[in-house]
A and B are shown apart, each in its own frame.
Chain A
Amino acid sequence: MGAPTTTDAGKGLLRFITCGSVDDGKSTLLGRLLYDAGTVPEDQLAALARDSRRLHADAGDALDFALLTDGLDAEREQGITIDVAYRYFHTARRSFIVADCPGHEQYTRNMATGASNAELAVVLVDARKGLLPQTRRHTYICSLLGIRQVVLAVNKMDLVDGDEAVYRGISEAYRALAQTLGIASVACLPVIAPGGDNVGARSARMPWYRGPSLLELLESADAAPARAVDFRMPVQWVNRPDQSFRGYAGTICGGRVARGDEVVVQPGVQRARIERIVTADGDLDSAGDGQAVTLCLDRELDASRGDVIADALRPAPVADQFTCHLLWLGDSALLPNRAYWLKLGTRTVNARVMAIKHKVDVNSQARLAARHLELNEVGYCTLGLDEEVAFEAYADNRTLGGFILIDRQSNATVACGMLDFALGRSANVHWQHVDIDKSVRAASKGQQPLCLWFTGLSGAGKSTIANLVERRLHALGCHTYLLDGDNVRHGINRDLGFTPEDRVENIRRIAEVAHLMVDAGLIVLVSVISPYRSERQSARELFAAAEFMEVFVDTPLEECERRDPKGLYRKARAGAIRNFTGIDAPYERPEAPDIHLAGAGRSEELAEQVVARIVATFDGGADG
Chain B
Amino acid sequence: MSTDNAPTHSHLDDLEAESIHIFREVAASFRHPVMLYSIGKDSSVLLHLLRKAFYPAKPPLPLLHVDTTWKFREMIAFRDRVAAAGDVQVLVHINEEGVRQGISPLVHGATVHTDVMKTQALKQALDRYGFDAAIGGARRDEEKSRAKERVFSFRNAQHRWDPKRQRPEFWHTFNTQIRRGESVRVFPLSNWTEMDVWLYIRRENIPVVPLYFAKPRPVVARDGALIMVDDERLALREGETVEMREVRFRTLGCYPLTGAVESGADTLDKIIREMADSRSSERQGRVIDHDPTASMERKKQEGYF
Chain A residues proximal to chain B, CB less than 8 Å: 1, 3-5, 7-13, 41-44, 47, 51, 69-74, 76, 82-88, 90, 95, 97, 109-110, 112-113, 116-117, 230-231, 236-237, 239-241, 245, 247, 249-251, 255-258, 261, 278-281, 286, 288-292, 294, 305, 311, 313-314, 329, 341, 343-346, 398-399, 402-404, 406, 411-413, 416
* Residue in B145, B173, B193, B195 whose Cβ sees the most chain A Cβ within 10 Å: B173
Return B156 CB to nearest CB of chain A, in Å.
11
Q: Which of B52-96 contact A (CB under 8 A)?
A: 52-58
20 further A-B contacts with Cβ under 8 Å, apart from A82-B164, A113-B169, A404-B175, are A3-B195, A3-B275, A4-B199, A5-B276, A8-B11, A8-B203, A9-B10, A10-B9, A71-B148, A76-B294, A86-B190, A116-B170, A237-B27, A237-B54, A256-B6, A279-B52, A286-B2, A292-B16, A292-B24, A413-B175
Known A-B contacts A42-B279, A230-B1; A402 and B10 likewise in contact (beta carbons under 8 Å): no
10 contacts between A and B (CB under 8 A): A8-B203, A13-B14, A71-B145, A87-B147, A88-B140, A245-B57, A250-B24, A290-B14, A403-B173, A413-B170
Return B93 CB to nearest CB of chain A, in Å.
27
Closest chain B residue to A245, Cβ basis? B56
Establish whether residues A84 and B280, one from each chain, have CB atoms under 8 Å apart when the complex forms: no
Quick check: is B222 within 8 A (CB to CB) of the other chain?
A: no
Quick check: is B302 within 8 A (CB to CB) of the other chain?
A: no
Task: Give the total number of A-B pairs whose CB atoms are below 8 A apart.
Answer: 198
How many B residues face the partner with a CB closer than 8 A?
A: 68
Contact of B147 among A71, A241, A256, A278 (CB under 8 A): A71
Quick check: is B167 within 8 A (CB to CB) of the other chain?
A: yes
Contact of B21 among A72, A251, A278, A280 (CB under 8 A): A251
Enumerate chain B residues within 8 angstroms of A5, measured Cβ to Cβ: 195, 199, 272-273, 275-276
Establish whether residues A256 and B141, one from each chain, have CB atoms under 8 Å apart when the complex forms: no
Chain B residues proximal to chain A, CB less than 8 Å: 1-4, 6, 8-14, 16-17, 20-21, 24-25, 27-28, 51-58, 140-141, 144-145, 147-148, 163-164, 166-173, 175, 177-179, 190-191, 193, 195-196, 199-200, 203, 272-273, 275-276, 278-281, 284, 293-294, 297
Closest chain B residue to A306, Cβ basis? B28
Known A-B contacts A112-B168, A311-B1; A88 and B21 likewise in contact (beta carbons under 8 Å): no
Establish whether residues B28 and A112, one from each chain, have CB atoms under 8 Å apart when the complex forms: no
Establish whether residues A88 and B55, one from each chain, have CB atoms under 8 Å apart when the complex forms: no
Return A338 CB to nearest CB of chain B, in Å.
16
Establish whether residues A41 and B173, one from each chain, have CB atoms under 8 Å apart when the complex forms: no
- Tell me the complex Cα distance, A250–B172, Å: 12
Establish whether residues A113 and B170, one from each chain, have CB atoms under 8 Å apart when the complex forms: yes
Closest chain A residue to B177, Cβ basis? A411
Contact of B1 among A3, A258, A341 (CB under 8 A): A258
- Tell me the complex Cα distance, A74–B166, Å: 14
Enumerate chain A residues within 8 angstroms of B55, measured Cβ to Cβ: 278-280, 294
Known A-B contacts A13-B11, A43-B281; A239 and B56 likewise in contact (beta carbons under 8 Å): yes
> Which are the 7 A-B pairs with shortest beta-carbon distances?
A71-B144, A3-B276, A241-B57, A280-B55, A292-B20, A280-B52, A41-B281
Enumerate chain B residues within 8 angstroms of A236, measured Cβ to Cβ: 21, 24-25, 28
- Tell me the complex Cα distance, A117–B168, Å: 12
Enumerate chain A residues within 8 angstroms of B175, measured Cβ to Cβ: 343, 404, 406, 411, 413
